[in-house]
Chains A and B, each alone.
Chain A
Amino acid sequence: MTMHLAQLNVAHMRVPKDSPELADFVAALDPVNQLSDAAPGFVWRLKGGDGPQDTVEHDYGDHMLINFSVWESRDTLWDFVYRSAHLGVLQRRREWFLRMAEPYTVMWWIPEGHTPTLGEGMDRLELLKAHGPTPRAFTFKDFYDSSEAAWRPAAAEVRK
């Protein structure tokens, strides 16, 4: 079975989204989203609405911004995140977001065709916080390849 890579990323905005301090970030939302949707290997992205500057709505706290997407491979996600115009936006993150002491980004493998839910993604982030990188919740730095063992629940249990 072909596996795809899901990635969830959370960030805490320094101020509410409509504040002038965040204007540059909000202005970058639409171009960066268009860049991701057209990027090689892009599969899916959780959209906040039909507006170009809509962000994902959730119940995980005020000022929290969520990015959630699915990609064909590690390399296609990597190239979008760090080898496209997205890098310039990332470099300004400190202007807009608070520094995070705990993990704020997580990835995991899903079977092709599966559309993950936000709850599923937040659970993976919790897994990463609780156990560190594992085949069920990992990061670019501690990456796990997609093997059946990495996503089959039964096999994952055995690994614990």
Chain B
Amino acid sequence: MSGDDLGAVASLQDPVRRVVYDYVASRGREVGRNEAAEAVGVQRTLAAFHLDKLVEAGLLESGFKRLTDRSGPGSGRPAKVYRRAPGEWQVSVPARDYRTPARVLAEVVELLGADEQAEHAARRAGTRLAAPGEDLGEVLRRRGYEPYEEDGRLRLRNCPFRLLAEEHPLMVCSMNLALCQGLLAGLGDGVTTARLDPRPGECCVSFSAENP
């Protein structure tokens, strides 16, 4: 854990700032100051203050973009927009480092060609992550997947294993799918199916009640 991580996470302690952050993160696209202010119910200047603090802390990125279709003279200057920064912050007190052993073990699994066993283990782990009857969306939210609904499917905005998935995408995405399937089994949900449904910038799995 670095001091920066602690600082970044601590900056979310302010309740208004937290709501502003959650709103931008939940959109999965660029958000303007007006939109953020209206969505969380605060004055535009206060929203702008928190948005800029979040950029300072490294949790959001900012840019400029025309929010209307008009362009050229008279269309006004581009508005400042915000979106979630791609990095990740992890705080553990006292310091613990689970990433390094995860990377080492992932490399070993790859060297051994033990992907299948990894998938089986992930499926078993998944069943233990959820209790029968729990709400699927709630379980996924708790695990950091950031679920949202689209066209009758439950899609996942965040990959909780991103660092590892960047290094070992095939293995980690397969494990993730198995984990999600195990999770459904743990919930006792025999109707919903999890399938591989990758999209740029999102998790590789989506859920639906239809047959795959």
Whether A115 is near chain B, meaning CB under 8 Å from some CB there, is no
A-B contact count (CB 8 A): 32
A91 engages B196 (CB within 8 Å): yes
Please name the residue on chain A nearest to B119 by beta carbon: A91
The answer to whether A82 and B198 touch (CB under 8 A), given A87-B173, A99-B113, is yes
- Give complex CA distance A87, B171 in Å: 11
Residues of chain B with a CB closer than 8 A to A83's CB: 198-202, 204
Q: How far is the CB of A102 from chain B (nearest CB, A)?
A: 13
B178-212 CB mask vs A (1 if < 8 Å, else 0) is 00000000000000000010111110100000000
Q: Does A38 contact B (CB under 8 A)?
A: no
Give the residue of B113, B115, B169 whose beta carbon is less than 8 angstroms from that of A82.
B169
Given contacts A83-B204, A99-B113, contact A88 B167 (CB under 8 A): no
B170 CB to closest chain A CB (Å) equals 6
**Inside 8 A of B173's CB, which chain A residues have their CB?**
82, 87, 91
Is the beta-carbon distance between A90 and B170 smaller than 8 angstroms? yes
B174 interfacial by beta-carbon distance below 8 Å: yes
Residue of B173, B174, B201 contacting most chain A CB atoms (<10 Å): B173
Given A82-B173, A83-B204, A141-B167; A88-B196 close (CB under 8 Å): yes
Establish whether residues A91 and B174, one from each chain, have CB atoms under 8 Å apart when the complex forms: yes
Report the bound CA distance from A81 to B200 in whole Å: 10
A147 within 8 A of B: no
Cross-chain contact A87 with B113 (CB below 8 angstroms): no
Residues of B within 8 A of A91 (CB): 170, 173-174, 196
Q: Which residues of chain B are within 8 angstroms of A87 by Cβ–Cβ distance? A: 169-170, 173, 196, 198, 204
B202: chain A residues within 8 A (beta carbon): 83
Question: Whole-angstrom distance from the CB of A56 to the nearest CB of chain B?
Answer: 22
B-chain residues with CB within 8 Å of residue A90 when the two chains form the complex: 170
Alpha-carbon separation in the docked complex, A94 to B113 (Å)? 10
Closest to A85 in B: B198
Residue of A nearest to B168 (CB): A141
Residues of B within 8 A of A82 (CB): 169-170, 173, 198, 204
Q: Does A112 contact B (CB under 8 A)?
A: no
A50: shortest Cβ distance to chain B, in Å? 30
Task: Produce 1/0 per residue, B159-175, CB < 8 A to A.
Answer: 00000001101100110
CA distance A87 to B197 in the complex (A): 9
Binding site for B on A (CB under 8 A): 79, 81-85, 87-88, 90-91, 94, 99, 140-141
Besides the known contacts A87-B198, A90-B170, A91-B174, 16 further A-B residue pairs in the complex with CB atoms under 8 A apart: A79-B200, A82-B170, A82-B204, A83-B198, A83-B199, A83-B200, A83-B202, A83-B204, A84-B198, A84-B199, A87-B169, A87-B170, A88-B196, A91-B170, A91-B196, A94-B115
- Some 28 contacts from A to B, beta carbons below 8 A apart, are A81-B169, A82-B169, A82-B170, A82-B173, A82-B198, A82-B204, A83-B198, A83-B199, A83-B200, A83-B201, A83-B202, A83-B204, A84-B198, A85-B198, A87-B169, A87-B170, A87-B173, A87-B196, A87-B198, A87-B204, A88-B196, A91-B170, A91-B173, A91-B174, A91-B196, A94-B115, A99-B113, A141-B167
The 5 closest A-B pairs by CB, nearest first: A79-B200, A82-B169, A83-B198, A83-B200, A87-B198
